[in-house]
Structure 1
Amino acid sequence: MSIPDPDTAVRLTRRRRAPDEARKEALVSARRLLLESGPDAITLKAVGDEIGVTHANLIHHFGSAAGLQSALMESMVRDLIQALDAAVAHLRSDAGAPRALVDQVFDAFDEGGAGRLAAWIVMSGDLELLEPVRGAVHDLVEAIYQKFQAEGEQARHRITAAVLFIALSAFGDAVIGPPLRDMLGRDQDSARRMVARLLPTFLY
């Protein structure tokens, strides 16, 4: 009995698909590789093998591995903006305590890998990729400003400090939270509780 050639098995999994569908599948695969193994795992071969398309097909869509990585960054930035926008909408429609706000921002950085994305962008040095997030961050500041009925520029200064505090904490928790909590014997919710307890010192 002959042993199947792995390359043959890969070719047999290939199927025709619309260009948009192939591009979306490639980005989903690339995101999974990023979250599981880091940016070095995002290669045209790895993505092509996983979704069953040729190297030439991915070159056609993205130009190069760097092009694929750039497209993934842009896609994840859009997701982060949507998550922050959702936090703003929740904040404006819900009368929740500071913990609700903390959960929204932590979720924005944790779900979908936005925290790791931010670390990847910073390490790559291409900070311009984060520029589209600016508007979402400003909207978050404005929503907190309106919700807590703050008045004057001094209050706005406190709120920007609060957003910085929450975002930095959420980013750190998303990137290194699990192993650090394990080292310290803290539960999964501990960082969120800590930030929620300290947040009123900024807002009131």
Structure 2
Amino acid sequence: MPVRKRLSPQESRAQALSAARDLLREEGVQAITLKAVAGRIGRTHANLLHHFGSVADLHRALADQIAHEVATQITSSIGQMRRGEKRMRDVVEGMFDAFIEQRVGELIAWVVLTRQRESLAPIMDAIAEVIRDIRSPDDARPLDQATLGLVLFAIGDSLAGVEVAEACGLPRSAARDMATEQVLAVLAGKKVVGQA
């Protein structure tokens, strides 16, 4: 029997999180169990329990990793937009695509439905970080409102955007069009639907 390479705690966690991400993409968040992840990386359930404590802690660590990667991507896109390299529509497209590819909406929905709301903390921290990173000292625009609308649009779109657009008789891109228009309106200080 081959001898398994001894990994540092950081390497073990990284390997487990990589396997958890693969499971998330391939089978959905319900497939991310300590047993399934351990089986993927050739470790024991006890080994993963040692590194994460519980499956909820594994979900939280995965949410943290994904949230910060997506936040970094969004902040980078906004920086490119400020330099004239991207339009707002490109930022919206990138965010919606990241939420779909990384299964962010599904991860958030699972955390909420399983009443593990404390696991949302990394995602909320990442959103707050985006607002801090993109706000310049002289910028009085309501970036928090623009971000709120954009994140909620992206979550909904990543969960059921195809089906809802089809039910409404609209193209798949309709939610992205609406999100772009709303963000531009909010940043321009214009009233949007539902705003007093």
* TM-score by shorter chain over 0.5: yes
Cα distance, 1:167–1:18 mapped onto 2, change above 3 Å? same
Cα distance, 1:115–1:137 mapped onto 2, change above 3 Å? farther
Structure 2 match to 1:160: 144
Structure 1 match to 2:105: 115
How far, CA to CA, are the matches of 1:91 and 1:118 in structure 2?
27
How far, CA to CA, are the matches of 1:191 and 1:199 in structure 2?
12
Offset at 1:46?
1.0
Letter in 1 for 2:106: R
Q: Report percent identity of matched pairs.
A: 34
TM normalised by structure 2 equals 0.74
Structure 2 match to 1:98: 88
Structure 2 match to 1:125: 117
How far, CA to CA, are the matches of 1:191 and 1:201 in structure 2?
15
Structure with greater helix percent: 1
Offset at 1:38?
3.8
Structure 2 match to 1:200: 184
How far, CA to CA, are the matches of 1:48 and 1:13 in structure 2?
17
Contact (CA 8 Å) 2:74, 2:130: kept in 1 or not? yes
Work out which of the two has the higher radius of gyration on C-alpha atoms and give 1 or 2.
Answer: 1
Offset at 1:130?
3.3
Structure 2 unaligned regions, length at least 5: 189-196
- Tell whether 2:47 aligns with 1:88: no
Offset at 1:197?
3.8
- Tell whether 2:128 aligns with 1:139: no
Structure 1 match to 2:158: 174
SS in 2 for 1:132: helix
Contact (CA 8 Å) 1:88, 1:139: kept in 2 or not? no
Structure 1 match to 2:5: 16
TM normalised by structure 1 equals 0.71
How far, CA to CA, are the matches of 1:13 and 1:193 in structure 2?
55
User: Could you report, residue by residue, the CA deviation over 1:141-172 in whole angstroms, capped at 9, with x for unpaired residues?
Assistant: x26x97xxx7xx5xx23x43333222211121
How far, CA to CA, are the matches of 1:14 and 1:78 in structure 2?
35
